[in-house]
Amino acid sequence: MHAWVVEEPGPLRRRPLVRAELPIPEPGPGEVLVRVHACGVCRTDLHVVTGDLPRHRHRVVPGHEVVGEVALLGEDAHRFVPGDRVGVAWLRTTCGACRWCRAGRENLCPSSRYTGWDADGGYAAWTVVPEAYAYRVPPSFRDTDAAPLLCAGIIGYRSLRRAELPPGGRLGIYGFGASAHLTAQVAVAQGAEVHVLTRGAAARALAAELGAASVGGAQDLPPVPLDAAILFAPAGELVPTALEALTPGGTLALAGIHLSNVPVLDYQRHLFPERSLRSVTSNTRQDGEEFLLLAERLHLQVTTTPVPLDKADRALEDLEAGRVRGAAVLVPEPFESQPFE
């Protein structure tokens, strides 16, 4: 099958993502083989490819926002049948026995493994997934629109919960890409007043279209004090800015898996008024199930840019440069129908 692999993580100018011909994977016990219909391009993929995240597997196939069709069942797999549409997300396996798993916090499992980092993902024509970690995709979403829900949406949902926004409160969103544009809609639907601070005119325009009360530059102060904020941009230098924008008792949630270094904080200025700084570590399957139901009920508008799979490297370049409106989504059909050179 045609696929992309991370040959040697590094800056995109060195072409770390290369095309490869791989055998179609075989599903193991409890796994299903999935024909990929769409795969979202997540900023985490960029961190895996460029080496911001440590390499877990040599020549891994990135991609963890996969929507596809079950084609084959592995031994003892019985949750799905061939032809079912499923979603493959970031969290791939956990031990199920540690203190975190037993407490319903499987995202903190020390034995957790991840799609597109520890195991091959969706930048390919086919992938496999443990059936216990696959999702049923809401029927109201097309494949390309459903793909970003599987990480951008789920992580944004968990980040919103971690931010502990009070009912009807004021939420600040720093950065406005795939995850933020979904989270903003959920917050607005729940009665929040959303203020978006981000680079790029296109991102600010989209934020206004989706109901933001105000939009501004990433370093700007919002027009009102914030009850909570979420930092989606992987820019540690924005942490002091976001903290300073919070009311006393407010919470800043850090949504990314990677963040550049945070400057030294002034305790009295940034933290002393009982402001909280919280990280977000992956998600639980419960987060995923809850969010997908919510996405369907709220009829979330997913803004996507479809990209042929044979242009995956360019999609990452556009993501890094901030040229993607909403979410880029890879579609494999053109990639499979053209000669692979």
b/e per residue, 267-287, with b = 16+ CB within 10 A? eeebeeeebbbeebebbbbeb
Token digits of residue 262: 């945070």
Give the integer Cα–Cα distance in Å for 247 and 238: 16
267-302, pLDDT tens digit by residue? 999 999 999 999 999 999 999 999 999 999 999 999
* Segments making up each domain of the chain, as ranges: 2-141+302-337, 154-279
Q: By percentage, how much of the chain surpasses pLDDT 90?
A: 96
Greatest C-alpha distance within the chain = 61
pLDDT score recorded for residue 337:
36
Place of tokens 């993580």: 9
Task: For residue 335, name the pLDDT band (cuts at 50, 70, 90).
Answer: very low
CATH topology of domain 154-279: Rossmann fold (3.40.50)
Could you please report the per-residue DSSP string of 299-333?
T----EEEEEGGGHHHHHHHHHHT--SSEEEEESH
3-state secondary structure of 151: coil
Give me the helices (H) in 90-237, please: 99-102, 143-146, 152-162, 178-189, 201-209
Check: CB of residue 158 under 8 Å from CB of residue 287.
Answer: yes
Give the integer Cα–Cα distance in Å for 129 and 45: 18
Residue 176 pLDDT more than 60? yes
Give the integer Cα–Cα distance in Å for 91 and 275: 30
For residue 239, the surrounding DSSP H or E stretch is: helix 238-244
Token digits of residue 255: 């949504």
Check: CB of residue 225 under 8 Å from CB of residue 275.
Answer: no
**Amino acid present at 116:** G
Q: What length is written for the chain? A: 341
For residue 274, the surrounding DSSP H or E stretch is: none
Task: For residue 333, name the pLDDT band (cuts at 50, 70, 90).
Answer: low
Residue 257 pLDDT more than 50? yes
Check: CB of residue 74 under 8 Å from CB of residue 28.
Answer: yes
Rounded mean pLDDT of the chain? 95
Task: Tell me the CA distances in angstroms from 339 to 57, 148, 221, 309, 335, one per residue in order.
Answer: 28, 28, 51, 13, 8
Average pLDDT of the residues in 240-261: 97
User: Does the CA dihedral 61-64-66-69 come out positive or negative?
Assistant: positive
184-239, pLDDT tens digit by residue? 999 999 999 999 999 989 999 999 999 999 999 999 999 999 999 999 999 999 99
Check: CB of residue 186 under 8 Å from CB of residue 194.
Answer: no
Task: For residue 25, name the pLDDT band (cuts at 50, 70, 90).
Answer: very high
Please provide residue 128's backbone torsions phi and psi, each rounded to the nearest 5 degrees: -120, 155
Average pLDDT of the residues in 103-130: 98
pLDDT score recorded for residue 340:
31
pLDDT score recorded for residue 249:
97
Token digits of residue 58: 């040599």
Residue of 195, 172, 164 lying closest to 242 (CA atoms)? 172
3-state secondary structure of 93: strand
Task: For residue 336, name the pLDDT band (cuts at 50, 70, 90).
Answer: very low
Average pLDDT of the residues in 75-80: 97
Does CATH place domain 2-141+302-337 in 3.40.228.10? Answer: no
With 0-12 CB in 10 A as exposed, 13-18 as middle and 19+ as buried, what is 97? exposed
pLDDT score recorded for residue 341:
35
Token digits of residue 211: 């109901």
Average pLDDT of the residues in 33-52: 97
